[in-house]
Structure 1
Amino acid sequence: MSHLLHRSVNGAYPVAVGGKGVMLFDAEGKSYIDASGGAAVSCLGHGHPDIVAAMHAQIDKLAYAHTSFFTSEPAEELAEHLIARAPKGLSTVFICSSGSEAIEACLKLARHYFIEKGESRRTNFISRRQSYHGITVGALSVGGRMKDRAPFKEMLLTGHHIAPCYAYRDQRTDETPEQYGLRVADELEAKILELGADTVAAFVAETVVGATLGAATPAPGYFKRIREICDRHGVLLILDEVMCGMGRTGTLHACEQEGIAPDLMAIAKGLGAGYAPIGAMLVAGKIVAAIRQGSGAFPHSQTYNGHPLACATALAVQKVIERDDLLANVRLQGAHLERRLKERFGNHHHVGDVRGRGHFWGIELVADRASKTPFEASLKLNARIKQAAMARGLMVYPMGGTADGVSGDHVLLAPPFIADAAVMDTIVERLGEAVDAAIADAL
């Protein structure tokens, strides 16, 4: 019996012992295509020699120095690299160890910013239903993934939620994509006015929704309207690009494709490609200026902020992505993956939608295509698909509750940026077999 507290205390997990490129290997000698990048993390695949070398070089010099005493060269260099490529207006980086920590930092800094400005009534945060922003108490409080919130609801801060941008289920037949996007964006203004504009600190959203909705992309014009509403009411825009950012959708930041810049942005996962735990918050210059003119302090820190080894690792990851022009490969092979997914699942009796961008794609499973009726949650179809895929040497990221937080299933794909067309073909072939086998087993 394992002494580890696993995600499922009654489950048995294969033991991962190695990895190379897009493949992972277990202790029994079986190999798996990592078509989900773990959880959209392993953007460079496994065992990349340049990253391993950079980690060795850094640990030989300095592994750790607490940020209350020192800064470090890797942290400073990583921050400089990120800001040189950041959306307009972002000027400063706070480095932490995970996406949840990055979101926590965003929430606390947003609140602190308004305290510095003398607007202490701004305590409310708005997000969207069917959103996921992390598993810590603060992140759960703003998140809209109700099944995760339910066990801890008495502990959570008050969260305010508006509709997601989820065209597959919510766009009306009499609306264009643009009209739909503006309609659901305008819910933000209604909620701000309902709460009182002088009480709202920030709106939090994933640019492309990952775990809860399976790579749901925003409608045209949606985020430009969101940006306008935030500006009109003095509300900060926090973009959660923990999963969809750092090249995953074909541009370094997913918001580049929306033509906007946030006030605060959380990144992680692809930042360090899984080689070291790291996340970061990118901060607009106006926020830093307010602090400099006020208390001069950000009252938030954690032991591993700015960890030198993690920073050196992330910097090496980002340099390899840029050197090898891997974002061009994401766009090229992402288009190939889209074609193959639509060929395989476009007319599938139980696939209602294929959606995504770059190396970030999802398929939504339905019991009936015409009515979009989801499978019964009790069937646990998403778990069956994961099991069937693993049996075929494929790792995918399935999730339940897609339609309404309880019912509905999707499968998320987030293959490494190094994947070629042959790998994409194999992913789609094995996924197709897994989906068909799981549905046959469930029914």
Structure 2
Amino acid sequence: MSKEINTIFPTLAVQPPIAARAEGVTITDTEGKEYLDFSSGVSVVGIGHGVKEVRDAVAAQMDQFSFVYRGMFASEPLLRVSKQIIDLAPEGMDRVFFCSGGSEASESAIKIARQYHLECGNPTKYKIISRWAGFHGNTLATLSVGGRTSWRTPYDPYLLKMPKIPQCNCYHCPLKLEYPACGCRCAHELERTIKAEGADTVAAFMCETVVGAAGGTVIAPKEYFSIIRDICDRYNILLIDDEVITGFGRTGRNFAIDHYGVVPDLIVTAKGMGSGYLPIGGVIIRKQIVDAIEKGSGSLIHSYTYAGHPVSCAAASAVIKYLTDNDLINQAAIKGGVFLKKLKTLEELPIVGQVRGIGLMTGMSLVKDKETRESFDPQYEVANQIQRRCFEKGLMLLAATVGTEDGVKGDALMVSPPFVVTEEEMDRGIAILKEVIAQVSEELGVH
């Protein structure tokens, strides 16, 4: 078995354990060791592991057929899941473009935005403004609009030069202001940048509703997206809402943008749609965009081989049905409140600066000095240390070690279990996390 693992690229310095089975919130390896999955497998698994209804739906579809090309055939699962998605989406969203994952979905949204402006007679609009400390995928175009500095740097010669505005992070404000006295200045930076670039060159503004792995669950103030929506409307710019992590209930609402009462033009989604059972992603598209393309050229100049893959669509349809039948989105809201209250007790630890959360998407900033909010030197890899030690003790969570404060410094953790997590599991996981953070604090000499 080890030889088989070693044929995988990249080869890791320390080989990970081999997963044998998973159920609910627990993954068991081939040695029989159990792990509490408080990462949801990189913020993917919403409904929990091992749901029989999804497995049965996948098997039933494969008994009929596994693949037809979307350009030649539709399929019943494709038609069904697209309606389920639109039923959950904000009012005014009209169609779904399918693909295989989050990076493809972000790339697709960028191209849809460009074609929309071409169809509307605005050929000079092509720039996508985004934010520093955001993440939208690993293709070259999505890295170009992403603001995750450490992941961009090696590929900078290949990247498109797209404008960025400061991140929205009230704990580590890049503008050195305090909310609410700041008047949400970070949102108004969008208008300043549009004017500097020239509104006739800007096609869209793209951002995560809640920043995930690049920030460790960073939540915008309540008025942020209303300001952004107003600016986009005034300058004929599309709002692309990246909900790859937050979509399908993670924040306790269908989509995180629902918390803000704003309707975007394009919603990018992936992880929660399929809950990890099969790869799938998509772009949910507002009616005005659909109408412009259908009344113009009549077709989208963009496609993927596996767009609308029947088996993936069957899995996603079963996932969404399970979500709604079991009221799991509402459960994410209720349990999220309980979980956040329990996690907040960790703020008593010397290096935990802030614990924050929305639904079952929670995170915390790790700092050297709580009063000044000074971050640790990156050489200490504080979040990585905590993630690794928790894993050794049977707890999975995500480290955000990509400069969550300023692109270079800044450690954070993201803690997001599946929606089926029990209170007993919460307590067990938090006990491990508390023990590990206390140990790391002591070793760092922070008391």
Structures share a fold, TM > 0.5?
A: yes
Paired residues of 1:392 and 1:434 also in contact (CA < 8 A): no
After TM superposition, list the pairs within 5 Å mapping 1:415-426 onto structure 2.
415-426=417-428
Q: Contact (CA 8 Å) 2:210, 2:218: kept in 1 or not?
A: yes
Query: Counterpart of 1:212 in 2: which secondary structure?
Result: coil
- TM-score w.r.t. length of structure 1: 0.97
Task: Give, in whole Å, the separation in 2 of the partners of 1:370 and 1:417.
Answer: 34
Decide whether the 8 Å contact of 2:166 with 2:174 is kept in 1: no
Q: Which residue of 1 aligns with 2:169?
A: 166
Name 1:396's counterpart in structure 2: 397
Map of 2:201 onto structure 1:
199
* Alignment match, 2:59: 56
Provide the residue aligned with 1:331 in structure 2. 333
- CA deviation vs aligned residue, 1:283-326 (integer Å, no higher than 9, x gap): 01111111111111111111110000000100100111100111
**What is the alpha-carbon distance in structure 2 between the residues aligned to residue 121 and residue 421 of structure 1?**
54
Question: 1:416 deviation in Å?
Answer: 0.4
- AA at the equivalent of 2:380: L
Cα offset for 1:170?
A: 1.2
User: Please, which of 10, 30, 33 is the counterpart of residue 13 of structure 2?
Assistant: 10
State the match for 1:359 in structure 2.
360
Residues 301, 174 of structure 1: alpha-carbon distance in 2 compared, 3 angstrom cutoff? closer
1:302-313 equivalent positions in 2, closer than 5 A: 302-313=304-315
2: CA distance between counterparts of 1:155 and 1:227? Answer: 31
Q: Structure 1 residues 386, 173: closer, same or farther in 2, change over 3 A?
A: closer
Which amino acid in structure 2 is aligned with residue 391 of structure 1?
E
Tell me, which stretches of 5 or more residues in structure 1 are unaligned? none
CA 1:352–1:240 in structure 2 vs 1: closer, same or farther (change >3 Å)? same
TM-score (ref. length: structure 2): 0.96
Q: Distance in 2 between matches of 1:347 and 1:320?
A: 38
Q: Secondary structure at the match of 1:154?
A: helix
> What whole-Å deviation, never above 9, does each CA across 1:13-53 have from its counterpart, x for those lacking one?
11111101110011111000000101110111111111111
Q: 1:279-358, aligned counterparts within 5 Å?
A: 279-343=281-345, 345-358=346-359
Residues in 2 aligned to 1:385 and 1:131: alpha-carbon distance in whole angstroms: 23
2:129 maps to 1:137: no
Which residue of structure 2 aligns with residue 380 of structure 1? Answer: 381
Aligned amino acid, residue 295 of structure 2? Q
What's the counterpart of residue 41 of structure 2? 38
Q: Give the secondary-structure state (helix, strand or coil) at the position aligned to 1:168.
A: coil
Residue deviations 1:127-156 (CA, integer Å, cap 9, x gap): 001001111111100001111110000101
CA–CA separation in structure 1 for the residues paired with 2:136 and 2:127: 16
Q: Is 2:85 the counterpart of 1:98?
A: no
| 3-state SS of 1:180 partner | coil
Residue in 1 that maps onto 2:410: 408
Distance 1:352 1:438 in 2: 14
Report the residue type matching 1:304 in the other structure.
Y
Contact residue 211 and residue 399 of structure 1 kept, 8 A:
yes
SS at match of 1:352: strand
How far apart are the structure 2 equivalents of 1:55 and 1:323?
A: 18
| Matches for 1:202-213 after TM superposition, within 5 Å | 202-213=204-215
Matched residue, 1:370: 371
Q: Secondary structure at the match of 1:314?
A: helix
The amino acid across from 2:276 in the alignment is G
Classify the secondary structure of the residue corresponding to 1:202: strand
Q: Does the 8 Å contact 1:388/1:437 carry over to 2?
A: no
Distance, in Å, in 1 between the alignment partners of 2:85 and 2:183 is 30
SS at match of 1:310: helix
Q: Which runs of 5+ in 2 are unaligned?
A: none
Alpha-carbon distance, 1:196 to partner: 0.5
Per-residue deviation, 1:173: 8.7
Q: Deviations over 1:324-349 (max 9, x none)?
A: 11122111111111111112x12221
* Whole-angstrom distance in 2 between the partners of 1:233 and 1:249: 30
TM-aligned CA deviation for residue 9 of structure 1: 3.5
2:90 corresponds to which of 87, 91, 104: 87
C-alpha separation in 2, matches of 1:418 and 1:180? 38
**Letter in structure 2 aligned against 1:368:** D
1:181, 1:311 → 2: CA distance? 43
Q: Deviation per CA, 1:375-415: give whole Å up to 9, x if none.
A: 11111112211111011110001121211122111110110
- 2:158, 2:176 → 1: CA distance? 40
The corresponding residue for 1:277 is 279
Once residues 204 and 47 of structure 1 are traced to their aligned partners in structure 2, the CA distance between those partners, rounded to angstroms, is 34
Report SS of the residue matched to 1:127: strand
Q: Distance in 1 between matches of 2:212 and 2:387?
A: 17
User: Does the 8 A contact of 2:170 with 2:178 survive in 1?
Assistant: no
Mapped to 2, the partners of 1:202 and 1:176 lie a distance apart of 26
Letter in 1 for 2:269: I
Native 8 Å contact 2:175 2:186 kept in 1: no
The alignment partner of 1:185 has SS state of helix
**Contact 1:165/1:181 (<8 A) preserved:** no
Root-mean-square deviation (CA), in Å? 1.5
2:256 alignment partner in structure 1: 254
1:235 maps to 237
- Distance, in Å, in 2 between the alignment partners of 1:38 and 1:50 is 20
Distance in 2 between the 1:8 and 1:229 partners?
46
Secondary structure of 2:215 counterpart: coil
For the 8 Å contact 1:336–1:424, the answer to whether it is kept is no
- Of 99, 114, 119, the residue aligned with 2:117 is 114
Following superposition, the deviation at residue 61 of structure 1 comes to 1.0
Give how far 1:5 is off: 3.5
Match of 1:26 in 2: 29
What is the CA distance between 1:171 and its match in structure 2?
8.1
1:263, distance to aligned residue in structure 2 (A): 0.2
